[in-house]
Amino acid sequence: MTSLAVSVEGLKKAYKDHTVLNGVNFQVQRGSVFALLGSNGAGKTTAIKILTTLIQADEGKAEVCGIDVAKSPEQVREKISLTGQNIAVDEILTGRENLELVAKLRHLPDRKAITETSLKQFDLEEAGGKPLSTYSGGMKRRLDLAMTMLGSPELVFLDEPSVGLDPEARLALWDTIRKMAASGITIFLTTQYLEEAEALADQIAILHEGKIIVQGTLDELKNILPAKKNRIRRKTTVT
């Protein structure tokens, strides 16, 4: 088994005349938290869509859990799970019913037991029987993550999961992600926020204008990037 959860070489993607990814290279170690940091439009979501087999790259090679995403997309999908920017929950159902539905769709055994364990793990036991209309944004995001974790994926992709959350809900989400990482699952996180990458990630790669301009630990990035000219702004962008 390879030690890499993700390996990307020379990845390119364009939409008509607009180049989104222009020769992207990076690697993600198994069992780590990896943050892809960049401003809006940098290409983060496009990279995730390629790695999760939703779209195909124009050029380059990408492997997830040692599997070529272009040649064996179904095998890749068996290994991963994805939480997108939009919270994917059914507002009509209760939290418990949402989890039971996903467990059923994934053909998991002992669905009721798995559901109750998941509600407890994500601090949703008291809210489990309530409709989603009574949930806060942070609670809905935690439920979304709980649904993502069903079936014990090897690799979880989180595409800007804290967008739209208030500061308190964001901190609670970070704590949830830390617990997910502590279970040994590899987490691939995209974010606009340096403080989010700093709080969660073992490795950070900065995506700017379709290219990875630097990758390393936070301390390595601080040593590599000049303090004045290329400082990462705390909230959004690379300048």
Of the CA atoms within 13 Å of residue 100, those in its CB half-sphere come to: 10
Is the residue at 99 inside a domain?
A: yes
Is the residue at 236 inside a domain?
A: no
Are 141 and 171 spatial neighbours (Cβ–Cβ below 8 Å)?
no
Is the residue at 233 inside a domain?
A: no
Is the residue at 145 inside a domain?
A: yes
Is the residue at 26 inside a domain?
A: yes
Q: Could you tell me the residue range of the domain that residue 164 belongs to?
A: 4-224
Is the residue at 231 inside a domain?
A: no
Is the residue at 237 inside a domain?
A: no
CATH number at 16 reads 3.40.50.300
CB atoms within 10 A of CB 17: 5
User: For position 198, what pLDDT does the model report?
Assistant: 92
Is the residue at 230 inside a domain?
A: no
Q: What is the mean pLDDT of residues 229-235?
A: 46
Q: How many domains does the chain have?
A: 1
pLDDT digits (tens, 9 = 90+) for 78-112: 999 998 887 888 889 999 999 999 999 888 988 99
> Is 50 exceeded by the pLDDT of residue 31?
yes
Q: CA 239 to CA 236: how far, in whole Å?
A: 10
Give the number of residues written for the chain: 239
